[in-house]
Amino acid sequence: MATRTAHTGARTRALRACAIVAVAFVARRAVYARKNAANDDGVRDVGDEDDAMVLHEIARVNAIATTITVPALMRRALRTTRQQSAISGADDVTRRLAHAVAGLMSASAIDALARVTLHLIARRMYVDADRGAHEAATLTESDKARALGVVLERFTRDGARELVRIARAVAEKIVKSDGFATLRSWSSADAERFMREARETVRTAMSMPSDVFVDAKNAKLPFERDGRRELKNRAFPSWETLLLPERVDGLNAAMRELVNEIRLVVRSPHFVVAVNAAMDAAWRAHAEVLLQTFFQVTPDSTLSSEQAARVLEVAMDKIARDDDVDHMNALVGAIGACEGVHFFTSVIW
pLDDT in tens, 121-136: 888 888 777 766 555 5
Q: Say if CB 240 and CB 266 are below 8 A apart.
A: yes
Q: Residue 211 pLDDT more than 60?
A: no
For position 229, what pLDDT does the model report?
A: 36
Backbone angles phi, psi at 91, to 5 degrees: -70, 165
* Alpha-helical runs (H) found in 230-304: 239-243, 253-267, 269-294
Q: Residue 31 pLDDT more than 70?
A: no
Whether 32 and 64 map to the same domain: the answer is no
Task: Report the alpha-carbon distance of residue 316 to residue 113 in Å, rounded.
Answer: 19
Whether 108 and 67 map to the same domain: the answer is yes
Whether 177 and 243 map to the same domain: the answer is yes
Task: Report the alpha-carbon distance of residue 115 to residue 292 in Å, rounded.
Answer: 31
Whether 168 and 26 map to the same domain: the answer is no
Which of 184, 190, 151, 188 minimizes the C-alpha distance to 73? 151
Integer-rounded Cα Rg, in Å, for the chain is 22
pLDDT in tens, 262-284: 888 888 777 888 888 888 887 77
Task: Report the alpha-carbon distance of residue 303 to residue 3 in Å, rounded.
Answer: 44
Whether 30 and 64 map to the same domain: the answer is no
Give the residue numbers spanning the domain of 11. 1-45
Task: Report the alpha-carbon distance of residue 107 to residue 331 in Å, rounded.
Answer: 9
Whether 258 and 284 map to the same domain: the answer is yes
For position 45, what pLDDT does the model report?
A: 52
Whether 128 and 182 map to the same domain: the answer is yes
Q: Say if CB 106 and CB 113 are below 8 A apart.
A: no
User: pLDDT grade, residue 225 (50/70/90)?
Assistant: very low
Segment holding 185, helix H or strand E: strand 185-187
User: pLDDT grade, residue 214 (50/70/90)?
Assistant: very low
The average pLDDT across 191-205 equals: 82
The average pLDDT across 4-30 equals: 48
Q: Percentage of residues in the chain with pLDDT exceeding 70?
A: 66
pLDDT in tens, 312-330: 777 777 666 655 666 677 7
For position 217, what pLDDT does the model report?
A: 42
In three-state secondary structure terms, 134 is coil
Centroid of chain to Cα 126: 26
Q: Residue 63 pLDDT more than 70?
A: yes
Whether 106 and 34 map to the same domain: the answer is no
Q: Residue 302 pLDDT more than 60?
A: yes
Whether 40 and 58 map to the same domain: the answer is no
For position 224, what pLDDT does the model report?
A: 46
Query: How many structural domains compose the chain?
Result: 2
Whether 21 and 134 map to the same domain: the answer is no
In three-state secondary structure terms, 210 is coil
Whether 38 and 65 map to the same domain: the answer is no
Segment holding 304, helix H or strand E: strand 302-304
Whether 34 and 111 map to the same domain: the answer is no
170 Cβ neighbours under 8 A, 6+ residues apart: 98, 101, 198, 201, 202, 205
* Alpha-helical runs (H) found in 132-155: 141-154
User: pLDDT grade, residue 304 (50/70/90)?
Assistant: confident
Q: What single DSSP character describes residue 209?
A: B
List 187's β-bridge partners, or say none.
302
Which of 332, 330, 269 minimizes the C-alpha distance to 77? 332
